[in-house]
Amino acid sequence: MDTATKIFNKFKDGSLPWLELDINFMEYLDAKEFDNVNGHYVEHREDETHNGWESCCLHGLGVDKTRVAKEYGYEDELNAPYTWTSLQQVTPTAKKFWEDFPAEKYSRIRFMKLNPGGKIDWHNDDPGHPLPDDLCEYLIPINVAVLHPPSCYMEVKDHGIVPWEHGKVFLINILKDHQVVNNANVERIHMIAQAHIGNKRKQFNELLDRSIKKYGISI
C-alpha cells in the first residue's frame, strides 16, 4: 500500500483532518499577479450561512464558472472540457506552480476570496456517494494560502484550527465538517485546485513521503 492510499484511507475514516505539504508557494508568489485577479471574482455562495465569499477560475470551464461541472450541463466531473482560462495571461507565476505540481490534470483551479468580516459556515464536501478505493483517480483538493491574515481561521470539527500561514499548502480533509471565519480587515485569498493525480502518482507519493517525514505525521 503506497503512501497516497494510506493518507486517503485516513481521510475516509476521519482520523486525519489535514496534511501540510512540503512545498513553499512563496517561491512562486508574485503579489502583483493577485491584484490582476480583482475585477474577475464572482459571488461564490451567498446565503444565511455563507457571506463575503467570492471566486474565479484560473483553470476550468470559464473564469466565472466556479461551480461543479454538472451545474453547467456536464455529467462527468472528471472529463468535462476544462482548460486554462484567460486569467492565465495575468497570473503566469500561479499557473507555473500548478504546472509544476505532481498532478496529471485538473478540473477547477480557483482563486477563493473571503472578504473582511466574511464567514464560510460549518459544512462538508462529502459527494454523497461512495468514494473510489483509489482517490488518486479522483479529484483531490489542494489548498494554497496566498494571503491568510492572522485573525482569519479555518477550523475542522473535532480537530481544531488549521495552522495556515502565507504560502503554506495543505491537503484538507473536506469530508469532515469545517468552517472559515475572516475577522481581519483585509481579504483572505486562497487557491484551491481539484487535482487528478493520475500518471504523476510516483512524484505525488514522493511529495507525501517528504511531507509526513518533515511534519512528523504517523500513518
Query: In residues, how long is the chain?
Result: 219
Cα 33 from Cα 89, distance rounded (Å): 10
- Strands 178-182 and 50-60, sheet pairing: unpaired
Each residue's pLDDT tens digit, 69-113: 989 999 888 789 999 999 999 999 999 999 999 999 999 999 999
**Owner of C-alpha cell 486517503:** 8
Contact between 172 and 178 (Cβ < 8 Å): yes
Q: What is the mean pLDDT of the chain?
A: 90
Residue-range domains of the chain with CATH = 3-214 (2.60.120.330)
Cα 29 from Cα 106, distance rounded (Å): 20
Contact between 174 and 12 (Cβ < 8 Å): no
Which residues lie across from 119 on neighbouring strands?
Answer: 51, 181
- Is the per-residue pLDDT at 129 higher than 80? no
CA-derived radius of gyration, the chain: 16
Each residue's pLDDT tens digit, 30-55: 778 888 899 999 988 666 567 788 99
